[in-house]
Amino acid sequence: MYSVAVNAHIRELIEQVMEYRDQGQWQKLEQLFTESPYIDEEVFNHEKPGIKAPTSITYGWRRLIRDIYYSARHTLGAMKIERTGKKEVNAETEIEARYYSMKDGQRQVFKMNGTYEYQFRKVAGRWKISSLRLTVNNKSLSTLGA
């Protein structure tokens, strides 16, 4: 049975993932994951996919985003949400990410378009991310004008 309320809640959780990443709200972000989610972002961060602790996930994101880039902006595109069981939901969303850096006195933007595939599981009455997989369709680096 499909629920409009579940759809809206999952959509909100996905939006929070991107918002918390952009704003550096790492502790809030950690709370959106199960205790041992499967993470596959190898195409972006070159880390082997696997089961990771939420603190490890957010540490990697924080290190990558804040140590290399001075700003990050994620924009969500089309989203599909499908309830696959009483306590399971799959979701897929298009993503556009922009990461801003400064190199040799020039502002640069690294753009990436792709798809995030989520699996959510209901744990203790709350929907949490149990799996996250990134597929990158294209990426580019360009210099921004003055």
pLDDT for position 49:
92
pTM of the model: 0.89
What are the residues whose beta carbons fall under 8 Å from the beta carbon of 74, sequence distance 6 or more? 18, 21, 22, 95, 96, 97, 98
Q: What is the pLDDT of residues 20-55, one digit of tens each?
A: 999 989 999 999 999 999 999 888 778 899 999 999
CATH number of the structural domain spanning residue 24: 3.10.450.50
Q: Which domain holds residue 68?
A: 4-143
Q: Mean pLDDT in the chain? A: 91
Are the C-beta atoms of residues 78 and 94 closer than 8 Å to each other? yes
For the chain, how many structural domains are there in total?
A: 1
